[in-house]
Chain A
Amino acid sequence: MNKYIYITIIIALSVLMGCNDKLELYPLTKTTEGTFYQNEVQIQQALDDIYRQLGNYYNANQIPDLFEQYSDNTLIILRTGADNYREQITDFFIQTDNGIINSAWENGYGSIYICNNVLYQIENTTVKIEESKLNLMKAQAMLVRSLIYFNMVRAWGAIPYIDKKITPMESYDYLRVEPDIIYQKLIADLTFCKQVLPGSYTGTDVGRVTKYGAAAILTKIYLTLGDNNNAKAELEFIISSNLFSLDSNNDGEVNINDYLYIFAPLTKNCKSSILEAQYKAGENAMNTRHQQAYTPFYWDFHLPDQTITFRGDGSNTPTTDLENEFEPNDPRLNTSIVPGYTIIGTANFVEYPYTNKFYDPNWQYEGQNFEIIRYADILLMYSEVTNDPQYLNMVRARVGMSAYGTVEYPSAKYPTLALAIEHERRIELCFEYHRFFDLVRTGRSIEVMRAKGYDINENKLLFPIPLHAKDVNPGLSQNPGYN
């Protein structure tokens, strides 16, 4: 029987020997961070994710969109979902546990982490890459980060400001920083971006952020800070480059077609575009949800020129007040607001306005780019800082509307240039997330909105710090008026 003992010992030894390497398993379908950033291509791929972040940030239901939902441009008739988070926003009774506000907060910081991480990788890389190239990469990430912070500061006021890669444990120590301090950091970063970034790109790089994009964000920051001189300088920097014009389709003529061209599904980074969120239509691409989100929450109708029944989420439904703001015969109305739809089964028409600015026939996988800052915006801002109506009138002339100062202009309604610009911005840029902060930075929000019956006060100009963020880190304070 001894032979069995020997067999056992041999078997036992053979199985017991050094199996530890079997425990070293790594993901099969994904690369790991520990083995990434090993060459320039990989660093570039990590950097390029900031464009996805920018796209996500300007998608429906993120902070910029919430500004629109918060404005007098939109309301909710009927929409998807069982919570009342969106009603809380459109009707000004936001509760601190509002889930949309919370995810906007989380998504903003998620994108900032991506930017901070890629900045860390660029700064600490051992891969040999030219200094200028590294700076170019750095500036792109910095610009996206600045834009996100700018929006978050406008939404919440003081917020944690983090500009480096940190661990979750360290993040508890980052508490709210006053807006002025953050603005100064953003100005410094954007100034660097403005110096480093090119004015334009060629080939497959077209669509990346430029120095004029940096200047445009700087303009908005300066305007928010009431610094018209610096804003003017930035606007002149953009205008004098002569790279941009209202002739968005670049056919040599400035007319209504240029306005329509901007909202054509396939238009990308046209002549009018200063800063643009990039999307691509089709399955498994980089899709947007603007059209889906802003279409009525309704089953059986066709979007214009489409043959498929479609149901939207029902957010950002235009108000009658916005509809009334359009002057008679303003050709921009048809694109901005569709009055309703026809039920397929009964051929009944239902009055339920919605915007058609984000029209994309590829309705399941939309890919229309989003204009964050476009040339009409630049001109209107320039009119504002120079107090010169000619830039305003350029925008109006493009769509065949009468010039400010002429008898045809509805001066009774908009007696001053400031009011005329406010009116024009509302019409030209509706659903492009400008309205609410235009009113805030000009100090007119409470006056204007109250007159229309909105329950708004000074405290409601800021969103509440999400309750969840406070639950996790009790060190965060709350904005006044919320508890």
Chain B
Amino acid sequence: MKKNKPFGELFYRSLKKTLLTMRIAIILMILGILQVNAKEVYSQNTRLSLNFSDAELVKVLDKIENESEFFFLYNEKLLDTERKVNITEKDQLISSILDNLFVGTDVKYTIIDRKIILAPDYLSEVVSQQQNQVSGTVTDKNGPIPGVNVVVTGTTTGAMTDLNGKYTITISPDAKSLTFTFIGMQPQVISIGTLTKIDVTMAESAIGLSEVVVIGYGSIAKKDITGSVGSIKFDQGLSSLPVVDFGQAMSGKIAGVQVINGSGRPGTSSSVQIRGMNSISAGSAPLIVIDGIQLPGYDLNSINSSDIESIEILKDAASSSIYGSRGANGVILVTTKSGKSGKPILQLNYTYSVQEVIRKMDVMNAPEYAQASIDAAQNGWIKTGGDPNAPNTIAARGNYIYTWPTALEHPETLANTDWQDLVLRIAPMHKIDLRASGGDDKTNYSISAGYVNQEGIVITSDYQKYTLNLNADTKINNFISVGGMINFLYDHENQPFNRIVEWAVQYPSIYPVYGNNGYLGGPNTVDGFENYYAVLFRPVNGHPLYKINDDIQHQRFTTIGNLFAKFKLYDGLNFRTSFNGFLNRLDDTNYAAGDHGMGDTYKTTVSFVSNMNRTLNYTWDNLLTYDKIIKGHTFNMMIGYEYNHRDFYMLSAQRRDYNNDDIHYLEAGKTIYAADDDASQTNLISYLSRLNYSYLGKYILSASFRRDGSSRFGPNNKWGNFPSFSAAWRVSDESFMKTLPAISNLKVRASYGFTGNDNFADYIWVSQMTLAKVAIGNTLANSYYPSSIENPNLEWERTKQLNLGLDLGLFDNRIILDGNIYRSISDGLLLAVPVPASSGFTSAFTNTGEVKNNGIELGLTTRNLITKLKWQTQLNFAVNRNEVTKLGKDNAPMIYSLGTAGGMQKINKVGEAMFGFYGYQYDGVYMNQAEIDADPAHYASATPGDGRYKDVNGDGVLNSSDRTIIGNYQPDFTFGLTNSFTYGNFDFSFMIQGVVGGTIYDDDAHRSMLYHEGRNYLAEINNRWRSEEDPGDGYHYKLSTKIDGYEKTVSSYWLEDGTYYRLKDVTIGYSLPKIISSKIGVSNARVFFNGANLLTISNSRVFDPENFQNNSASNSLYFGVGGGQNTYPSAKIYSFGINVEF
């Protein structure tokens, strides 16, 4: 056994003491390639040149690995890697090189595609079987695996497999089972029983240390990562999920990455929030990079999820600082599938799904609503000082709002319509993907097409999506290779009118769907309600079918593509130039129909709007990389230059006055109403560089530096610098760790980096002159006025982040822990600072303010069972705490009105989390007059049954200084828990995901509870205070049509708990045994059932609290706010699918 051999150390330290005591210890390493589908082809076509004299063998092997795609597997203890060799080869096949290299030694080599196994020839001879021995063959899907460790479980008795994967092991009579381990493969435990022959098929470990992860402008072995990068490999199960946007496939998988489904509307993109909010006014959406193409806007729907090979998420600043001014919100790197050399593969996935609303909102039925309306009118009347016994007539009470239709007194005569049932439906969805891929040693290709046809769960909504992806690369010669990808996407959505769901929740249950004359049911078509039209009873234009004839369509064409060329300039020196393009075109049309199912009298003016948005974005990047290994010192250097140009154009036209609702084009409108456009451009120039250094794989350092110049910033601050530093130490590779065999992997990491945020509109620093129309007499003239304040100092918002991480693997990596703690400080916030209105402006866009985020993220993977029944558990957990540490002048708090109907407000205040809900603290109901009298801070108009509000500052008066932070949408913690099982050909997995803590605000609930124009109430209002004898639950105050207290004022009454736990995903799959599948001509076939969002546990009364977490990625002010217009609930989805591979 040779010691202190640098190259050997690299592989050695991850082994454990148990192995040391074995007859032969094994260290094998798989570098790079994930999957090997072919044999021989690459090795028979690849030719190499080598020239070494008196060099260590390890250097030669290393050179071969660097110059080719070959990688070596060998037992360090059996191979003398320091043996000096002389070799001169020119354009030779690998086999001939290896022949020369090992001539005269006992080393035999085996080439399996790119994998070269080196072992002494005596290993290849297995002695014949004797008593008390077990033997067998260990294989993976490509064939036998040599060097697999076979141990009698719980002992140090062991053996290893030979070149043919065969082993023989002597066992004692009390031996119960055998454990098979191999780095990069999932360990297996098999009971012995009476068996003397045990054959084992090993499966690649999804969480192996040898994985390669994509990082910005390059890739790196997972073991060499110094920052915090989350990685999701899209295996067969994930690729075939019935998700339309790939965000849903990422949900709950990575700690600190919150994927939020803002709406169930087909075709909408989930939003992603990485490690809290760093910005108040600028956007908080992460940057998306697909195959190196940086998307100019955030959209997770721009590529088919089935085309994705892997997604990497750069979470810490040191990782994302290579994206400089765009990295502050984290970066999502998407790698699409490319072809692999070998036999061509044809894959087909088909999924049929049925969607159903996740749950309905609980609203009052007709009798309940009738009573509520009577109570409100009567209470309003009493409030004005009216005689409670006055007749229920307009003559006696003076105003319709203090009376009610007598029909309400006989609720049994009213319809009892469930409007949600009317507009929601069970909707089918089909998803088909087809992919062909293949390649040889020079060229790889992949071509795929996808099709989604989805009906929405809301009537009149449907969605179709077509994608096409081409991916190819080829090696022209030893110096030049070229490649590229192109992805086309076209989708089309019929959007329902945006208030249909809101209306369905709020339209009173007392009306029939259709009333007199077959017109829509409402006060004017139901006898007895005529005079209450719009007074107490929601008029007809709140009927869920009122806008059913509207026609709202969205079409999108997105083309993403790149072309790159790679030049091998010199030993380890490469130059790569890549042109990346993005072209997006959105066409939106909105036809507002004139006919409302109400007859001619109620026809309204028709308008038709047609919008066209075009975004062209291209990036040209040039990277020079140099990789060098000198005596265990590995250097990877990169310098680059990038130029980015974005060009946006929007054209909008509108006509009105259509003869009928037949033609939904501009052409048919009689009046040209509007024609408008908008245009903007952005340029970004960047210089980037990075150095990765590792010594013996134990000590890893990385530093990067990017300098960005952006057209968005003021002339005084066009350029910004974004450095980062990070380091990692693989403690488990140290020799002193050998005494701790339980620890199979231990790495500590630290990183510090700067990132920027430029996520706001162009030209903000310039004072723009806006053109306006001004009337003077009968003349319409043009006037100009300055609409913004010039700020030539406007610059980047900068985030500094410190990340400390720990990777721990225990018991042969049966338990893997990935933990990170971080602290980030964002300063120079791009902030619309409120300024005194007397300046002529209400806010000024400046670099002011500071926000701090601290957090902990934990990922835990355990392989609970590794027998024939395999069980793996993955848990992730994240906590983020956010605090505003500085604001504008004198740190004055900033209060924002949400502009929603309820007037909910939010606040940013130093020392508090960003964007807390702000208002009065609700404190239950005044149950009687005595309680009012006893409360010195009661408001003048308070009567029994009204709400009570806290006198927060205790000064005995309830006023605006009693407003306080009444909630914050930011959760206490989030988690995801996945359990997966396989047994034979069956696989089963389920994922639970949850958000715990946090407050949400539902504008719908708010409106229905306080409007007295006939919106249905939530069923919980049945627990309201009705009288001192019937006081309800003490929380819900009485209903009244006369509101003069705080009922409409912003208070915690309107907020609810955003906590939810969700059974996000359940999958049961069955793979056809090879014997059967090969008979029907397929190489792989699987059928599966998937259920998404099957169960949600939540205290909130909304459809889905997840929709409220973040319903607008572009404006953090609205996080936690939902309901109102544009409500489209999410769905439960039951799917059945098949995957076939030929």
Contacts and interface: CB of A to CB of B under 8 A. Distances in A.
Contacts of B622: 11-12, 15
B811 interface: no
Interface in B519-577: 524-525, 530-531, 533-535, 539-541, 567-570, 575, 577
A422 B992 CA distance: 74
B895 interface: yes
B769 A8 contact: no
Interface string A19-30: 110111111111
Given A84-B1043, A87-B1044, A172-B889, A24 B838 contact: no
A96 B960 contact: yes
A196 interface: no
B401 A78 contact: yes
Contacts of A172: 835-836, 889
Interface string A152-167: 0000000010100011
Contacts of A52: 772-774, 783, 785
Given A166-B839, A284-B773, A474-B890, 16 more contacts: A22-B683, A23-B711, A32-B766, A36-B769, A49-B784, A49-B785, A52-B772, A52-B774, A78-B401, A93-B941, A168-B844, A171-B836, A286-B780, A299-B534, A348-B531, A471-B834
A424 B1011 CA distance: 39
B569 A8 contact: yes
Contacts of B767: 32-34
B929 interface: no
A285 B837 contact: no
A20 B785 CA distance: 30
A309 to B, nearest CB: 7
A236 B337 CA distance: 88
Contact of B839 (A105, A170, A205): A170
Contacts of A77: 399, 401
Contact of B1044 (A23, A27, A93, A469): A93
B835 A472 contact: yes
30 contacts: A5-B570, A11-B577, A15-B641, A19-B685, A25-B762, A27-B680, A29-B679, A34-B766, A34-B767, A48-B776, A49-B774, A55-B775, A83-B1048, A95-B959, A106-B842, A113-B840, A169-B889, A204-B779, A206-B777, A280-B778, A286-B780, A308-B604, A309-B602, A343-B524, A344-B601, A345-B533, A346-B524, A472-B836, A473-B836, A483-B957
Contacts of B534: 78, 297-300
A15 to B, nearest CB: 5
Interface string A261-299: 000000011000000001110011110000000000111
Given A4-B567, A168-B835, A33 B774 contact: no
A87 B534 CA distance: 18
Of B598, B710, B784, B841, most A-chain CB atoms within 10 Å: B784
B908 to A, nearest CB: 11
B943 to A, nearest CB: 15
A285 B782 contact: no
Contact of A82 (B641, B768, B836, B1007): B1007
A168 B772 contact: no
A197 B835 CA distance: 35
A357 to B, nearest CB: 19
A300 B525 CA distance: 13
Interface string B875-890: 0000000000000011
A367 B957 CA distance: 46
Contact of B838 (A1, A109, A300): A109
A116 interface: yes
Contact of A345 (B568, B602, B837): B602
Interface residues of B, number: 105
A51 B836 contact: no
A441 B683 CA distance: 60
B769 A33 contact: yes
A34 B567 CA distance: 48
A114 B641 contact: no
B726 to A, nearest CB: 27
B960 A97 contact: yes
Nearest to B517: A345
Given A1-B570, A25-B683, A82-B1010, A279 B577 contact: no
Nearest to B774: A52
B709 interface: yes
**Among all A-B residue pairs, the 6 with the closest Cβ atoms:** A113-B840, A207-B777, A171-B839, A82-B901, A280-B775, A49-B783
A469 B837 contact: yes
A245 B885 CA distance: 64
A23 B645 CA distance: 10
B786 interface: yes
A99 interface: yes
B960 A467 contact: yes
A306 interface: no
B490 interface: no
Contacts of A166: 839
B772 A49 contact: yes
Interface residues of A, number: 102
A11 B623 CA distance: 11
A237 interface: no
A345 B718 contact: no
B681 interface: yes
Nearest to A207: B777
A81 interface: yes
A286 B778 CA distance: 11
A45 interface: yes
A160 B839 CA distance: 10
A243 to B, nearest CB: 16
Interface in A18-66: 19-20, 22-34, 36, 42, 45-49, 51-52, 55
Given A45-B782, A300-B539, A309-B602, A167 B839 contact: yes
B892 A474 contact: yes
Contacts of B941: 93
A257 interface: no
A210 to B, nearest CB: 12
Nearest to B963: A97
Contacts of B1006: 82
A46 B784 contact: yes
Interface in B660-718: 673-674, 677-683, 685, 687, 709-711, 715, 718
B763 A26 contact: yes
Contact of A174 (B605, B641, B838): B838
B783 A51 contact: yes
B790 interface: yes
Nearest to B522: A345
- Which of A99, A168, A308, A469 is most buried by chain B, counting CB atoms within 10 A of its CB? A168
A472 B774 CA distance: 32
A16 interface: yes
Nearest to B788: A33
Given A26-B763, A87-B1044, A278 B680 contact: no
A117 B785 CA distance: 9
A33 B840 contact: no
A170 B834 CA distance: 14
Contact of B1048 (A82, A285, A299): A82
Contacts of A298: 533-534
A20 B777 CA distance: 49
A456 to B, nearest CB: 14
A4 B711 CA distance: 33
A181 interface: no
Contacts of A24: 711, 715
Contacts of A206: 776-777
B789 interface: yes
A174 B836 contact: yes
Interface string B638-659: 0001010000000000000000
Contacts of B674: 283-284
Contacts of A7: 567
A51 B840 CA distance: 17
A141 to B, nearest CB: 12
Contacts of A376: none
